[in-house]
Amino acid sequence: MKNIVILISGSGSNMAAIVRTAEEQNWAQRYNARISTVISNKADAEGLTFAKQHGIATSVIDHKAFASAPQPREAFDAALMTEIDKHQPHLVVLAGFMRILTPGFVAHYEGRLVNIHPSLLPAFAGLNTHQRAIDAGCKFAGATVHRVTAELDHGPILAQAVVPVLPDDTADTLAARVLTQEHLIYPKAVAELL
Ligand code: GRF
């Protein structure tokens, strides 16, 4: 069985889209694959409830618990890797996971680690993508599924979706339009990798 581990930090709507697609398309039978666990760095991430309701094991590794370690990022990533590796994952899917990962973590999952970013990469890596697209006068925005490399929001592109930027858009209205597309391209890209 190919295990998929999904990492979230918040609402987890991309995770939910992947779980629903896996159920609808019967990934167990079609790809011999399953979402084996959902891990959050925040105990109050709403997505954890959805995962539990769908019979998926969940766990929380709170990055704040490592704040006083000599190397907090490395210590957090080591704990995260230990939890992930219990599932011997075929894929590790970052779905709104709002932590910058160490080069050691990225190297450990090389070829197995994917992310979704709410912009048309390579434009607007980093945060506040929607406001930055509006401020730049972009006529189009979108989302990108990409393999994860050591450089933040870079790596080979697997899928993209494009939406128009409308004259009266705010960051929130644009984000909502982009998110509806994320929910289509991310499950599809994961299925293609399987
Ligand atoms: C998405 O826009 C994703 O691209 C970005 O954070 C948001 C997470 O949304 N990295 P959700 O947690 O999947 O609902």
In this model, does residue 152 exceed pLDDT 90?
A: no
- The rounded Å distance from CA 22 to ligand 1 centre is 19
List, for residues 7-33, the tens digit of each pLDDT value.
Answer: 999 999 999 999 999 999 999 999 999
Mind listing the domains of the chain with CATH numbers? 2-193 (3.40.50.170)
Q: What is the pLDDT of residue 65?
A: 96
Mean confidence (pLDDT) of the chain: 97
Long-range contacts of range 18-24, CB-CB < 8 Å, 24 or more positions apart?
A: 18/93, 18/95, 18/186, 18/187, 18/190, 19/50, 19/51, 19/54, 19/56, 20/187, 21/187, 21/188, 21/191, 22/187, 23/54
Tell me the catalytic residues: 117
List, for residues 27-83, the tens digit of each pLDDT value.
Answer: 999 999 999 999 999 999 999 999 999 999 999 999 999 999 999 999 999 999 999
Under the banding of pLDDT at 50, 70 and 90, the label for residue 187 is very high
- The rounded Å distance from CA 15 to ligand 1 centre is 9
In this model, does residue 166 exceed pLDDT 90?
A: yes
**Is-contact 194 2, C-beta < 8 A?**
yes
Q: What is the pLDDT of residue 101?
A: 95
List, for residues 102-120, the tens digit of each pLDDT value.
Answer: 999 999 999 999 999 999 9
For residue 45, which of 89, 3, 95, 116 has the smallest C-alpha distance? Answer: 95
How much is the pTM? 0.97
Atom of ligand 1 nearest to the CA of 175: 2
Atom of ligand 1 nearest to the CA of 15: 13
